[in-house]
Structure 1
Amino acid sequence: MFYSGTVGEKVAVTDAVEKRMYDNDFDAMIAEGLRSEVPQRLLLVLLKVEMSDQVATDKSSGTLTPVMVNDIELTSRVSRKALMDEADGVGHPWDMIMASTVENKGGKAPTGDDANPLLEKMAGDVLQGRDLTAYAVFDRSGNRLVVNTGPDG
């Protein structure tokens, strides 16, 4: 049985030393996953943002649409730049990347087949307008974003 590990608050870069070590929050998330003793798989959903005609006074609003899902074994070869370059090479325009990790409770690395149901859930959560706080959402520069869903989000 697999469970979806939330990257959430655990990867927030608040320590001054860590801020110097990583260029952005996405790199910090990868580093956090690599520090784990349990092999992990990185789950990614590329999102397109369509801004609404009505923009609230102090915040932007719009629609998120998943354009591609992917999973990759989390190894030291994984980098934000390589992932972004690969995503750009697919040809689907995207604005944000939603990420999570999965690990096998038995200590064995999860496979792509193991990740598929979780990727479908992530994309489905976006399409259904569900709460996305269980996932980390980043802009193209790797900076962490807060995404509110629902009529007030």
Structure 2
Amino acid sequence: MNTAHFDEFLTAARAEPEPQRLLFVFGVAELPPGATPGQAKRHHEGRGGTLAPVMCVDKSLDELTSFAELARESEATGQPWDMVFAGALAGRDGAPPAAADVERALRGMIGAIHRGAIEKFLVLDRQGQLLRFS
């Protein structure tokens, strides 16, 4: 999916033929234990660190109309976050994905983030703008 903002992600999900469940994993950039002074400097400049998932949620397209809504809901938890990883899970034959499939997909996203395998997710900042990692 080639999008630059969260609203484009919602539009694309709504255009899919099968019902979609939107998956979100909120994360923070942390300084790894035992970091070198160079790593600490890059992290302080916003260019380094490790990604750590801190919370996740799934939503139907009917439950979410904007990134601002998602951000407000996440802020109500009191859990700080720097970015959100977004994905979608398609249902089958007109039915939404089963709860067990959603749970499995969220666990898979969390595992991928821990491994640094984030290329298949949209990664958005706190304003809903696409982040790119190099």
* TM norm structure 1: 0.74
Give the whole-Å Cα distance in 2 for the aligned partners of 1:34 and 1:100: 13
Give the whole-Å Cα distance in 1 for the aligned partners of 2:133 and 2:112: 12
Aligned-residue RMSD, C-alpha: 2.1
Gaps of 5+ in 1: 1-9, 14-24, 149-153
Is the Cα–Cα contact under 8 Å of residues 85 and 121 in structure 2 kept in the other structure? yes
Cα distance change of structure 1 residues 47 and 76 upon mapping to structure 2, 3 Å threshold: closer
Give the whole-Å Cα distance in 1 for the aligned partners of 2:88 and 2:65: 13
Instruction: Give the 3-state SS of the residue equivalent to 1:91 in structure 2.
Output: coil
Percentage of matched positions with identical amino acids: 30
Q: Which residue type is aligned with residue 27 of structure 2?
A: L
Paired residue for 2:101?
Answer: 114
Is the Cα–Cα contact under 8 Å of residues 71 and 112 in structure 1 kept in the other structure? no
Give the whole-Å Cα distance in 2 for the aligned partners of 1:68 and 1:77: 17
Q: Which residue type is aligned with residue 37 of structure 1?
A: P
Paired residue for 2:66?
Answer: 79
Please identify which structure carries the higher helix content: 2
Among 28, 33, 39, the alignment partner of 2:19 is 39
Among 53, 64, 67, the alignment partner of 2:54 is 67
Paired residue for 2:130?
Answer: 144
Gaps of 5+ in 2: 32-38
Give 1:75 deviation, angstroms: 2.5
Cα distance change of structure 1 residues 80 and 62 upon mapping to structure 2, 3 Å threshold: same
Paired residue for 1:49?
Answer: 29
Is the Cα–Cα contact under 8 Å of residues 87 and 121 in structure 2 kept in the other structure? yes
Paired residue for 1:95?
Answer: 82
Is the Cα–Cα contact under 8 Å of residues 64 and 70 in structure 2 kept in the other structure? no
Paired residue for 2:92?
Answer: 105
Which contiguous aligned blocks of 4+ residues in structure 1 show a shift greater than 4 angstroms?
A: none
